[in-house]
Each structure stands twice: as C-alpha cells, then as structure tokens.
Amino acid sequence: MTRAVLSIGSNMGDRLAHLRSVRDALGERVVAVSPVYTTAPWGGVDQDDYLNAVVIAEDPAFDDYAWLRFGQELEQAADRVREVRWGARTLDVDVVQCADSTGAAIDRHTDPTLILPHPQAHHRAFVLIPWLAVEPAARLLVDGVARPIAELLAGLDASERDGVVRTDLVLHEESAGSC
C-alpha cells in the first residue's frame, strides 16, 4: 500500500469542477482533503489565478508509479494541454510525496520518470499551505532529510506565503476541511 500526497491545481475552465473531479475519482481512497486556495500563477507566464488544494489518499493496490499514471489520466480527461512550461492548465495533478506501507517516504530523487518527493514542493507555498491544513505534523524529504512542512513554509518569503489565500470553496460538499 502507498499513501500519496497529491497537489492539484486549475486555472482554466470550471476550475472548481476540475479539482472536484480528482476528489471524485479517488472516492474511498481519500484520507484528507484540504481547503481550496487561490494563488497567483507561478513561473512567470501571464495567466489567470489558480485554485489549489491537496488531497491525501491511500490505496493498497497503488505504488508510486500508479499514482503518477492516475494523475496523468485525470489531466487527460480534463483536456490538459502541455504547450508552455508553467503555463495555464485545466488540471495539474502532482505527486508530491508517497509513503510505503511502513510509512517511510519513498525517495526516487534520481528516477527520470518520477522524482519523489516532488523536487520543488519545498519551495511552493501553494503546496505546503494546503498540506499543512490537513496534516500539521507532515514531513517532507528535502535532500534526504525529513523536514517538517511547517518549518519549510516558515522559510519561504512572506510574499510567497501571503499569495496563497484560503477561499470558501470546498472539494467535498460534506466537508470544509478533511474527509
């Protein structure tokens, strides 16, 4: 079994519906769903703001590559087009971190297909803030060392943190926090 932290985002079309499609596709595998945040685009490409969230899920049949394929299938179903790096997208599903059945984080820092943990997650408030909201004690491997995400977030520039604004939107009608 693996436990996955998935960062999801959308800034095209019905952004909330795209995020909800991930939650719906995960179904019973969902462990927690963060609040939804609005964030300015990252990467310097002119585009609309994003809606972002984090979903934590578990599946005894999924390994880390299955989570990657699952996310890619959802992106394709949302008609995601990859034309411009860091450009606008209907749906982005990033596998931030996976843990094995013992709870140990899977480290694939040299794998060309799937780098785990996500190599830029520790620099991105739009990943850390939603994750912290549903798993305050979470830790992320950075250069082989498990560091508290609260510590990583505190180390980011204040403008980066302030640019992630919680909304009243929810991914699951019955919950504004976690499932």
Report the CATH number at residue 68.
3.30.70.560
Retrieve residue 45's tokens: 């490409």
For residue 141, being part of any structural domain is answered with yes
For residue 171, being part of any structural domain is answered with no
Query: What residues have CB less than 8 Å from 158, skipping those under 6 apart?
Result: none
For residue 174, being part of any structural domain is answered with no
Query: What residues have CB less than 8 Å from 130, skipping those under 6 apart?
Result: 7, 34, 35, 37, 52, 53, 54, 164
For residue 100, being part of any structural domain is answered with yes
For residue 178, being part of any structural domain is answered with no
Domain that holds residue 116: 2-166
For residue 175, being part of any structural domain is answered with no
Task: Determine the average pLDDT of the residues in 134-141.
Answer: 94
Question: Between helices 15-26 and 64-77, what is the axis angle to 10°?
Answer: 140
Higher pLDDT, 174 or 62: 62
pLDDT above 90: residue 125? yes
pLDDT band at 79 (very low <50, low <70, confident <90, very high): confident
Among 157, 173, 131, which residue's Cα sits nearest to residue 42?
A: 157
Look at residue 85 in the predicted model and tell me its pLDDT.
61
Retrieve residue 144's tokens: 């082989």
CB 55 within 8 A of CB 32: yes
The single-letter code of the amino acid at 154 is: A
Look at residue 178 in the predicted model and tell me its pLDDT.
44
Can you give the C-alpha Rg of the chain in angstroms? 15
If one counts the domains in the chain, the total is: 1
Give the number of other CB atoms < 10 A from CB of residue 85.
8
Higher pLDDT, 79 or 95: 95
- φ, ψ dihedrals at 167, nearest 5°: -110, 175
